[in-house]
Structure 1
Amino acid sequence: MERLISRGGRLWGRRLHPPVLSCQRFSSSYILVSGKTDANPVAIPSVRGRDKTDLPETPCRTRFAPSPTGYLHLGSLRTALFNYLLARATGGQFVLRLEDTDQSRLVRDAEARLYKDLKWAGLSWDEGPDKEGPYGPYRQSERLPLYQEHADKLVREGKAYRCFCSPEGLEELKRASHESGKSTLYPGTCRHISPEESDDRAHRGEQFAIRFRSGPEPVMIQDIVYNRFRKRDPEDDYIIIKRDGFPTYHFANVVDDRHMKITHVVRGAEWLVSTPKHVELYQAFDWEPPQFAHLGLLVDKGRQKLSKRDNSANLDFYQRGHILPAALLNFAVLLGWRAPPSTKEVLTLQDMVDNFSLKFSKGDIVVSLQKLPYLQEKHVERLAENDNRSPDEAHLLQRHVLQPLRSAIENIHKAKTDGILMAPGGHLTGEIGDRLPALRILDERFHLYLARMLRGTMRLTDKPANRFVETAWKLRYLIWQVPEGLLEMSLQEGRLYPIVPANRAWRLAEAMAYLLEKFRAVDESSWGHETVKQALGEVLADEGYQDFFETENPDTKDLQLNVYKPLRWALLGMDKGPPITDTMEILGRSESLQRLEAGKLAAEKVAAQMRPPLEKELAVKGNEPLVPPRDSVSDASEADRVQ
C-alpha cells in the first residue's frame, strides 16, 4: 500500500484504491496509512457530543454529481440513493449537478439517459440542469467564469501559480523518471517563477495551466465512515485550471460544493485519497468544508472493483431484466448501509427515508445478486396485492411484470397455434390443450395473480423473457386446458405416489366423486375465494374422507395432503402448484367442476384397467370391498366440519 501512495512510486493520473482499507487505528483515534500521528491536524468541523452517524438536526443539502461520460451504474445509483435519503430524511434538498469539464470524453446521450434512469428509479431532485435553483447553473461547463475568478484569487494570494510547462514535455519527463526509478510527481519547475515574469509571459499569450501550491505537510481529514485519515506524503502541486480554461475535477468540486451550500458529501471510497486535496483547497479559501462520508467500494466475488463491463454493474441489465426500481433500490441500500436492527429487510423508498442514518460499513462491499430475486418477488407481491397503487406504481407493474407475462403467454400460444413443437424456452407445446376463455385470460386480475405466483422464478438472466415464459409455463393449466390423457398417464406413472398408488386408483375415483358433490353445492353467483375456502374447510373437517386413502403406508394418512394433492392433480395435472382456493377462483365454477369430473373419469379408467390384479390381491386378503361404504362419510353438521 505504501508503494502505491509514496511520492516515488506513484504515476501521475493514476487513480488509487483508498489506502484506508488497510489502515490501523492508533490510540490517538487517528486513522493513518503509515507513519506517526499528526500533532496538529487540520481543523475539521467537530461532531463530538453526539454520534456522528446520527442524522443532523438541521436540513442537509446533498448532491449527486455524475460525469456524463457514461451511463448510470449500480455504484452511482447507490451514491445517488444515499444522498437522496439524507436530504429527504432531514427535510433538506437533493441537488443534481453535471460535472462535464472533461469535454473530450462526453457521451452524446449520457445526460438524457441520466435523467431518464433517475426518474425510472424514483429519485427526484430539487435543483439541477433541468430545474431552476438559486445556485445554478448546474452544469460545470456553464460555470467557467466562477472557477477562473477563484483560481485568479489564489494566484494573486500566492496560493497558486501559472505553469507554462508543455504537456508533451511533462509526459516525457514522467516517462524518463519512471524508467530511472525516480519520483514521477511534478518537479515544481514553474513554482518559483516570479509573479512579474508569470504575468508578462501570460500577457504575451504563452499557454499555461494553473497549479495549486500545496503545503509541506500532509493534511488530516475527518470522515463519518473512516474517522480520521491522512496520507503519508503531502500533495504535489496539482493542476486546478487546465490549459483549455476548464477546471479539474478537484477544483470545480470544491468551488461548486461551497457555492451550492452543500453540507454533506456522500461518495465512494475511491475518492477518500483525494479528499485531502479538497480540504486543503477549503483551507486556502478559508472556507469550512462539508461533512464527508465515503462508502465502501463495490467489488465482485474476486474482490475486484466492479467493472462497467460486468452485467451486475450496469443499470440497463436490471431494466432489461424487468427488475422493479423499488427492488433494485432495496438491493442497493443494503450495500453498505447498516440499518437499525428493528428495520425489516424489504423496504420501500419511504421506509428507507424513515429509517435512514449515516451508519455505513467500512471496507469493500461484495456484490452478490442472490438476494435480489427475493426482493423482486416481495416487491412484485406488494404491488400486485395493493389495490391503492399510485399511477407510477401501476405503470411499473404493467411495464415490468404484466406486459412481459402477457407476451410470454402469447408467444407460447402462437407456437402451439403455428404447430411449432417447441415453445419459447424449450417447452413442448403438445403438453397444453386449448386456451381458456380469452376474456378471463385478458383480465388484469388474472395477470395480477400470475404476478403473485412469480415467486421462485425471479432468477436473473441475460434473456429475461425466458423467465416470464417459465412462469407462464409453470402455471400453464390456469391458462390452457389440461390435455386429454395427461391425468391418466400421471396415475399410470405413479406421479401421485404415495398418496394414490396406481393400484388404488379406485380410491381416488371415489374421492373425486365426493369432492364434486361438495363443490357443486356452491352456486355460480357466490363462487369465489371465500366460498371455495368454506367448502374445503368442510372436507377437511370430515374424518370420513380419510377412508378413501387408508392404506398400509402410514405416510398417506395426512388429511390435508389427501385433500389438496388430489385436487391439484385434477385441476392442474400436477402434484405441486398454487393454492387451491386461488386456482378454483381463477378457473371459475364451470371449469373447476369439469376438471374434477375429468379427474374422476381418469381415475375410474385406470382403476378398471387394474381391476383383475386388484381383485386377485383382495381375494388373498379376504374379500375387502372395492368401494368403501358411503355411510363411512360423516354426516356431521357444517359447523362441526369447518375447523
Structure 2
Amino acid sequence: MDKILLRGRGLVRRPLHLACTQWGGLSVPQQRLQFSSSPNFRDEPLKPERESRQARQDRFKLPTAPCRTRFAPSPTGYLHLGSLRTALFNYLVAKATGGQFVLRIEDTDRTRLVPDAEQRLYQDLKWAGLSWDEGPDNQGPYGPYRQSERLPLYNEHADKLVREGRAYRCFCSPESLEELKRAAHESGQPTLYPGTCRSISPAESDDRAGNGEQFAIRFRSPATPTMIQDVIYNRFKKKDPEDDYIIMKRDGFPTYHFANVVDDRHMQITHVIRGAEWLISTPKHVDLYNAFGWEPPKFAHLGLLVDLKRQKLSKRDQSTNMSYYQDGLVLPDALLNFSALLGWRGQGPQGDVMNLQEMVDNMSLQFSKGDIMVSMPKLAHLQQKHLERLRDKTPAEAPHYNSHVLDPFKTAIEKVEMARKSGEVTAAGDIHVASLGEKLPAVRILEEPFHNDLLRVMLGTKFPMADPASRFGAAVASIKYHIWAIPDSVLRTSFQEARLDPALSSVQSSSLSRAMAYIVKEISANDEGTWKRAGLEEQLRHIMSESVVSSICGDTGISQQKFVYRMLRWALVASEQGLPVAYTMEILGLEETLRRLNAACHVVQEDSGSQQSAGEVTRGE
C-alpha cells in the first residue's frame, strides 16, 4: 500500500478557509484536498470545467441498475469509526439499488495480521446490523472471499501482464533498494525506483526466474499521468507519472493495488466507495484497469474524519474503536445514523434521525468533499432520539431494548442490592443505603407492560455516554422506591420536610389526617381489574373535586390538584421526584400502593396527635 506521506506524493490537507459550517449537527470544515509535499511535486484535483447544476446533480444520483459494492478490510486491526462508515455507505448504495454488498478480507500483508481481527470484524458488523450478501462465511458466485485464498488468480493475471510487456520481473534485493532510497533521500532526489530491471530482456528474465532467483513483479507505468473520474472530487490527475510499483511481492503475495483491482473486476464490483486517503492511489488502479482492457468501476472517495483540532482521527484514539461504543451501550442504529451523517447529506422523514432502512430509502451519492469534523455531542443527541423510538414497540420490534436498557438496569439494581446487604454506606447513583428498605418482591417496572416507563426514566437521566455504569446507577437512584420499600424513619423524616412545602405548610395536622384517610378510602375501592393509570388519573381528579379536599384547600387557598399530588408523592415515594403519580401507583401495584398509603396514614395521624385509633384502612372498609 502507498504510504500517505511519500516524498513527491504526500497527501496533505491544506485548509483554504478556516471557517466551518454546521451540517447535520456536525462541523464541516470548508476546505479542499491538495496533494503535495514540495513546490516541485504537486498533485491535486483538477480545476473543474464549468459543470451545470443539472450535471452535478446527475453525478450524485444513484444508478437505476443494481450496484455491487464491497467492504474490503484488512485483518491487521479492528473495525473503527472510519471503517464502519465506509462499510455503511457501501451497504446503503447496494441496498438502495437492489444490488449486493460484498465482504472481502484483504489479508495479503502477512506480517501484520492480528489473530482475532477477522472474527471481531464479523461480530462488529453483525452487531451494527450490516449483513453481507457474499463473504468468507457466506460464500457466493465469486469466491473465495479471502485474498490469501485467491493467489492463483493473481499469479495468472500478473503473468499475463509480464507476457504482454506491461509488467516485468524485478530481481533487486530489498537491501539494495533500501540503499538506493537512502542515497536518493540524502541527495534530495525523489525516492523512485530507478528502473534497474526495466530493460532486462524477456529471455534473460525467464532464465533468471527459472534458475530460482527471487523476484518481485513491477507494473510498467505509463509515461504520462492518468486522469481519473471521481463522484465526489470529479476529475483528478497527478502532476507526475507513477513509479514502476510492485504488484507481486517476492513472497508470492500481491500488493493491495494489484489484488483489489483484480478482485473488483472478477467480483463485478460497480462502485468503489472508500476514504479520501486512497484518491492519490486511484490513478495506479485505473492504469491497471486500462492495461487489462477493463472498464473501471465508479469511484467515490469519502472525506477524512478529523477531530476538533482538525487532525486526522487516530486508530489509537479510544473513541474510534467499536468497543468504545459497544461498552458505552450506544444503540447500533444511533451509531450507524451518526456514521452516515459524517459526510452524507441525507434526510429521512424525521430529518437527520434515521434508522438503517430510512437511510436506504433516502440514499444518494451526495457525499461531502473535504474533511469531516467528528462531534461527539451529536452522537449523544442521536442516542436519545433512537431511545425515544423504542417507545410503544414490542420486544420483537425493539430487539436492543433488553441488551441496552433492561439488562444493564437489572445489573445496576443488583449492585445496589449487594451494597445494601453488605452494609455499605453508599451505592451506585450516590444512593444512601440506609434510605432503602427491603427490595420489593416484584420490581414491576422491569416487566414488559412498563417498558415505556423504564425508557422514560432512562431518557431523563443525563450522564456522559462513556460512563454507562453511572448513567444506569443514576437512573436506579431516581426511582429507588419503585424497587425498594420506604423505611419508616425515611417516611417520617420526609413528612416533616413535606410539611414545609407551601402546598402543605398552612394545612392543619387534623385536616391532613382527614384528607389522607379519605384518599385511602377512595383508592382502596379499586381492584386488580381497574388498576390502570387512565382509570387512576380519573379517580384522582374525582378525589380533588370532592368536598373533603375542596374544603381544606378553600380555607388555605391551595390548589386542590397540587395538594393531592403532593400528599400522594410523599406517601408513595417519600417525595422523590420522578414518574407521574398515577404511573407510580400502577407500577407499584394495588397491594403495595395501599400498604404505603396506610403507612402514611399512621404517620399523619401520629403527627396530628389524634386520640382516635390508628387502625389500618383496608380494601372494603
The question of whether the paired residues in 2 share the 8 Å contact of 1:60 and 1:93 is answered with: yes
| Paired position in structure 2 for 1:632 | none
Match of 1:434 among 429, 435, 438: 438
Q: How far, CA to CA, are the matches of 1:19 and 1:37 in structure 2? A: 17
Cα–Cα, structure 1 residues 421 and 341, in superposed 2: closer, same or farther, change >3 Å? closer
- 2:247 is equivalent to residue 240 of structure 1: yes
The question of whether the paired residues in 2 share the 8 Å contact of 1:508 and 1:600 is answered with: no
TM-score, normalization: structure 1? 0.81
| Paired position in structure 1 for 2:118 | 111
Q: How far, CA to CA, are the matches of 2:594 and 2:553 in structure 1? A: 22
TM-fit CA distance, 1:372: 2.9
Q: How far, CA to CA, are the matches of 1:77 and 1:147 in structure 2? A: 28
User: What is the identity percentage for the equivalent residue pairs of Structure 1 and Structure 2?
Assistant: 58
The question of whether the paired residues in 1 share the 8 Å contact of 2:46 and 2:237 is answered with: no
Q: How far, CA to CA, are the matches of 1:55 and 1:132 in structure 2? A: 27
Q: Counterpart of 2:247 in 1: which secondary structure?
A: strand
Q: Counterpart of 2:235 in 1: which secondary structure?
A: strand
| Paired position in structure 2 for 1:569 | 570
TM-fit CA distance, 1:135: 0.8
Match of 1:450 among 451, 454, 460: 454
TM-score, normalization: structure 2? 0.84
The question of whether the paired residues in 2 share the 8 Å contact of 1:19 and 1:33 is answered with: no
| Paired position in structure 2 for 1:468 | 472
Cα–Cα, structure 1 residues 438 and 242, in superposed 2: closer, same or farther, change >3 Å? same
Cα–Cα, structure 1 residues 250 and 510, in superposed 2: closer, same or farther, change >3 Å? farther
| Paired position in structure 2 for 1:22 | 32
TM-fit CA distance, 1:603: 5.2
Name the amino acid aligned to 1:294.
H
Q: How far, CA to CA, are the matches of 1:102 and 1:247 in structure 2? A: 9
Q: Residues 52-81 of structure 1, C-alpha deviation per residue, up to 9 Å, x if partnerless?
A: 222211111111111111111122112111
| Paired position in structure 2 for 1:592 | 593
Q: How far, CA to CA, are the matches of 2:167 and 2:509 in structure 1? A: 93
| Paired position in structure 2 for 1:205 | 212
TM-fit CA distance, 1:314: 1.0
**Counterparts of residues 399-414 of structure 1 (less than 5 Å):** 399-414=403-418
Q: Counterpart of 2:60 in 1: which secondary structure?
A: coil
Cα–Cα, structure 1 residues 516 and 239, in superposed 2: closer, same or farther, change >3 Å? same
| Paired position in structure 2 for 1:272 | 279
TM-fit CA distance, 1:601: 4.9
- 2:536 is equivalent to residue 536 of structure 1: no
TM-fit CA distance, 1:246: 0.7
| Paired position in structure 2 for 1:126 | 133
Q: Residues 89-145 of structure 1, C-alpha deviation per residue, up to 9 Å, x if partnerless?
A: 111111110000001111111112222222222211111111221111111011111
Q: How far, CA to CA, are the matches of 2:574 and 2:219 in structure 1? A: 76
Cα–Cα, structure 1 residues 454 and 478, in superposed 2: closer, same or farther, change >3 Å? same
Match of 1:55 among 39, 50, 62: 62
Q: How far, CA to CA, are the matches of 1:59 and 1:551 in structure 2? A: 77
Q: How far, CA to CA, are the matches of 1:346 and 1:368 in structure 2? A: 16
Q: How far, CA to CA, are the matches of 1:502 and 1:537 in structure 2? A: 22
**Counterparts of residues 155-194 of structure 1 (less than 5 Å):** 155-194=162-201
| Paired position in structure 1 for 2:19 | none
Q: Counterpart of 1:531 in 2: which secondary structure?
A: helix
Q: How far, CA to CA, are the matches of 2:221 and 2:511 in structure 1? A: 90
The question of whether the paired residues in 1 share the 8 Å contact of 2:69 and 2:271 is answered with: yes
Q: Counterpart of 1:175 in 2: which secondary structure?
A: helix
TM-fit CA distance, 1:564: 4.0
Q: How far, CA to CA, are the matches of 1:107 and 1:224 in structure 2? A: 33
| Paired position in structure 1 for 2:615 | none
Cα–Cα, structure 1 residues 244 and 397, in superposed 2: closer, same or farther, change >3 Å? same
The question of whether the paired residues in 2 share the 8 Å contact of 1:505 and 1:607 is answered with: yes
Q: How far, CA to CA, are the matches of 2:191 and 2:487 in structure 1? A: 76
| Paired position in structure 1 for 2:380 | 373
| Paired position in structure 1 for 2:96 | 89
Q: Residues 16-65 of structure 1, C-alpha deviation per residue, up to 9 Å, x if partnerless?
A: 669995348xxxxxxx95597699xxxxxxx9596222221111111111
Name the amino acid aligned to 1:422.
T
Q: How far, CA to CA, are the matches of 1:19 and 1:102 in structure 2? A: 33
- Stretches of structure 1 that go unaligned for 5 or more consecutive residues are 25-31, 40-46, 610-643
TM-fit CA distance, 1:331: 2.3
Match of 2:300 among 284, 293, 299: 293
Match of 1:418 among 414, 422, 436: 422
TM-fit CA distance, 1:227: 2.3
- Stretches of structure 2 that go unaligned for 5 or more consecutive residues are 17-30, 35-41, 611-621
| Paired position in structure 1 for 2:579 | 578
Q: How far, CA to CA, are the matches of 1:274 and 1:192 in structure 2? A: 25
Q: Residues 363-421 of structure 1, C-alpha deviation per residue, up to 9 Å, x if partnerless?
A: 2222222233343344344445312615xx54x33233222221221221121122222
TM-fit CA distance, 1:587: 0.6
TM-fit CA distance, 1:228: 2.2
Q: Residues 275-324 of structure 1, C-alpha deviation per residue, up to 9 Å, x if partnerless?
A: 12212221222211111122222222222222222221111122222223
Name the amino acid aligned to 1:526.
T
| Paired position in structure 1 for 2:202 | 195
TM-fit CA distance, 1:568: 2.8
Q: How far, CA to CA, are the matches of 2:352 and 2:545 in structure 1? A: 38
Name the amino acid aligned to 1:595.
R
- Give the CA RMSD over aligned residues: 3.3
Q: How far, CA to CA, are the matches of 2:582 and 2:73 in structure 1? A: 51
The question of whether the paired residues in 1 share the 8 Å contact of 2:62 and 2:364 is answered with: yes
With 331-340 and 442-451 compared, the bigger mean Cα shift is at 442-451
Name the amino acid aligned to 2:490.
L
Q: How far, CA to CA, are the matches of 2:81 and 2:149 in structure 1? A: 28
Q: How far, CA to CA, are the matches of 2:328 and 2:489 in structure 1? A: 37
Cα–Cα, structure 1 residues 196 and 379, in superposed 2: closer, same or farther, change >3 Å? same
Q: Counterpart of 2:458 in 1: which secondary structure?
A: coil
Q: Counterpart of 1:62 in 2: which secondary structure?
A: strand
The question of whether the paired residues in 2 share the 8 Å contact of 1:373 and 1:458 is answered with: no
The question of whether the paired residues in 2 share the 8 Å contact of 1:494 and 1:502 is answered with: no
Match of 2:146 among 139, 144, 151: 139
Aligned residues: 582
With 268-277 and 587-596 compared, the bigger mean Cα shift is at 587-596
Cα–Cα, structure 1 residues 439 and 157, in superposed 2: closer, same or farther, change >3 Å? same
Q: How far, CA to CA, are the matches of 1:504 and 1:215 in structure 2? A: 98
TM-fit CA distance, 1:347: 2.3
**Counterparts of residues 492-531 of structure 1 (less than 5 Å):** 492-493=496-497, 497-501=501-505, 512-513=516-517, 515-531=519-535
TM-fit CA distance, 1:274: 1.5
| Paired position in structure 2 for 1:231 | 238
The question of whether the paired residues in 2 share the 8 Å contact of 1:164 and 1:208 is answered with: yes
Q: Counterpart of 2:118 in 1: which secondary structure?
A: helix
Q: Residues 256-287 of structure 1, C-alpha deviation per residue, up to 9 Å, x if partnerless?
A: 11110011111122212211221222122221
TM-fit CA distance, 1:588: 1.2
| Paired position in structure 1 for 2:39 | none
Match of 1:346 among 315, 333, 353: 353
The question of whether the paired residues in 2 share the 8 Å contact of 1:118 and 1:124 is answered with: yes
Q: Residues 170-215 of structure 1, C-alpha deviation per residue, up to 9 Å, x if partnerless?
A: 2222223223322122222222333333223222222111111222
Q: Counterpart of 2:58 in 1: which secondary structure?
A: coil
TM-fit CA distance, 1:162: 1.7
Name the amino acid aligned to 1:256.
D
- 2:318 is equivalent to residue 311 of structure 1: yes
The question of whether the paired residues in 1 share the 8 Å contact of 2:43 and 2:239 is answered with: yes
Q: Counterpart of 1:385 in 2: which secondary structure?
A: coil
Name the amino acid aligned to 1:353.
V
